[in-house]
A = this chain, B = another copy of it.
Amino acid sequence: MTLDPGAGARGAPARPVRAHHSIGSFEPELGGALPEVTLAYETWGELSEAADNAVLLAHALTGDSHAAGGPSEGYRRGGWWHPMVGPGLPVDTQKYFVVCSNVLGGCSGSTGPASVEPGTGRPYGMRFPVITIRDMVRAQRRLLDDLGVRRLALVIGGSIGGQQTLEWAVEYPDFVEKAVPIAATGALGPQGLGMSEIGRRAIMADPDWQEGDYYGTGKRPDAGLAIARMAGMMTYQSAPGQWERFGRRPAGRPALHREFGGRFEIESYLHYQGRELTQRFDANSYLYLSRAMDLYDVAAGYESDQEAYSRIEAEVLFVGITSDWLFPPGEVRASAERAQRAGAEAGYAEIDTLSGHDAFLKDWTELTDTIKPFITGA
């Protein structure tokens, strides 16, 4: 669990590198202690002599370090930002040393509630401390320091990746040159908080959750996690987009659950999305990461959000998505304006789409058009 010699560090090969790295002990912002934290990460490209050409990609709630590249032995799916990261792409791996790490609290190689608690020999479960977006960022900073990175040319991500991006600019002003928080604001609104809590209640109400100690029992709260995912998916799409994609069409797929007066395509879709997540994600991680999303408030620890935003030295481009109802574009724009008012060099751009919140994971052309000029300075 120590740093792979040379893995992703200066002089590393251009091929993606996947590794685990121990950052040692960690003290989460809200209390508790983690005696040993490992982060799983991948890198693409080479770190420059000045060690200032690094890009950090921050993944969303159920994402992982596999941001680019195709399926591999470790990842049955291709990278979540595959069309954005590579030679000649907006995040150009010929120019940048690109790093993506699974967040603290996650379940794709980094230390999280499914990890074994040192000393007890059993998984943390709900004894894992509450993790914040700032904790994720501080852990990432330690990884980047150990990789020899001296400055981030860019940090970028959507949703809770966007929250991390914004927090990077606030927490480490002199370390970040450009930041692109996508579909994220200084603080999630009550509608998003409510939808999050519906998902967590579904997990916690599942008897197989067993107060979080389901590891090794042969039972997992899959039913609850699937419902949480269904609720999440609703917030990732827009009503007009769903009219276009699903309408009121009957389902064409085999039933996963009891049929009741027929079944609409949107229901079948949600059932499949729910089941898919249970095959790759830990329910406790879902609880912790969704809670981190809820708790994030850029003003936390400062007098006000204005004081927080005034710390920013990076050039920031807030990107809103017209049909996003988790982080509505009006609220993203308002965050950009408040950052501007605090003196930050903050811009706002909007992606016009019916894709909803998830546009940052699918509307590649619009994303490229919006982001590439900001990154390249063209």
Contacts from A to B (Cβ < 8 Å): 30, 130, 187-191, 193-195, 197-198, 200-202, 204-207, 223-224, 226-227, 230-231, 233-234, 237, 239, 242-243, 245-248, 257-258, 260-262, 264-267, 270-271, 274, 287, 291, 294-295, 297, 325, 328
A257: which B residues are within 8 A, CB to CB?
Answer: 201, 204
Q: Given A195-B234, A234-B195, A325-B239, A260 and B200 touching (CB < 8 A)?
A: yes
- Please give, as numbers and ranges, the residues of chain B lying within 8 Å of A262 by CB-CB distance: 295
Q: How near does chain B come to A329, taking the closest CB pair, in angstroms?
A: 12
In whole angstroms, what is the CA distance A193 to B194 when docked? Answer: 18
- Contact status B230-A264, CB under 8 Å: no
A267 near B194: Cβ-Cβ < 8 Å: yes
Closest to A258 in B: B204
How far does the Cβ of A312 sit from chain B's closest Cβ, in whole Å?
22
Which among B30, B187, B189, B270 is the interface contact of A194 at CB below 8 angstroms? Answer: B270
B contact residues around A264 at 8 Å (CB):
190, 193, 197, 294
Q: 9 tightest CB-CB pairs across the interface, nearest first?
A: A190-B242, A205-B223, A130-B261, A190-B266, A191-B239, A190-B246, A197-B267, A261-B291, A194-B266
Contact A270 B197 (CB under 8 A): yes
Least CB separation from A297: chain B residue: B248
With the chains together, A207 CA to B223 CA distance in Å? 10
* Interface-central residue, A237, A265, A267, by most chain B CB under 10 Å: A267
Query: Whose C-beta in chain B lies nearest to the C-beta of A198?
Result: B230
Chain B residue nearest in CB terms to A221: B205
- The distance in angstroms between the C-alpha atoms of A262 and B193, with both chains bound, is 12
Closest to A205 in B: B223
Whether A231 lies near B198 (C-beta < 8 A) is yes
Other than the known A194-B242, A197-B230, A261-B291, what 20 A-B pairs have Cβ atoms closer than 8 Å?
A190-B239, A190-B246, A190-B248, A190-B264, A190-B265, A193-B248, A193-B264, A194-B230, A194-B266, A198-B234, A200-B260, A201-B226, A201-B271, A202-B202, A202-B205, A204-B257, A204-B258, A205-B206, A260-B287, A261-B294
